[in-house]
Amino acid sequence: MTENPQIPDDVIALAGKLFDAARAGDEPVLRAYLEAGAPATLANQAGDTLLMLAAYHGHASAVRLLGAHGADVEVANDRGQTPLAGAVFKGHGDVVDALLALGADPDAGSPTARQAAHMFGRTEIVDRFGTAG
């Protein structure tokens, strides 16, 4: 990551703490910072949002928490992957359900979550998507 001299070290440390909390599904930490005004839309240098990290690492309740605080389920990372596609890739059915409940589109991103489900033979997940839109 390229250091930005305009961003104070304490802000960088806070962002790192939030990204770690999302990866770990640490809801108390996420909740405390979100309620204090931290943006649920925060993304790292690769374009991975807090929601993407929580989804990819299998934390459905953290996904719901982030969604309740305004995280956008459609934001793709720099590789074009959405949180839903990440959850499909990892086989986290409960996260898929949480993202769908938040309005995630199985046909967004590249590859789409629907395509990823087919690629990895996750028929139980494909069935949750319904017909293509």
- Does 133 map to a domain? no
- The answer as to whether 3 is a domain residue is no
Distance from C-alpha of 67 to C-alpha of 75, rounded to nearest angstrom: 12
| pLDDT value of position 17 | 93
pLDDT lower than 50: segments of the chain:
1-2
Peptide bond into 111 cis (omega under 30): yes
The pLDDT assigned to 13 comes to 83
| pLDDT score of 5 | 62
In a domain, 4, yes or no: no
CATH of the domain at 98: 1.25.40.20
Q: How far apart are CA 114 and CA 23, in angstroms?
A: 23
pTM exceeds 0.95 for this model: no
CA–chain centroid gap for 66, Å, is 9
In terms of residue numbers, what domain contains 28?
Answer: 9-69+76-128
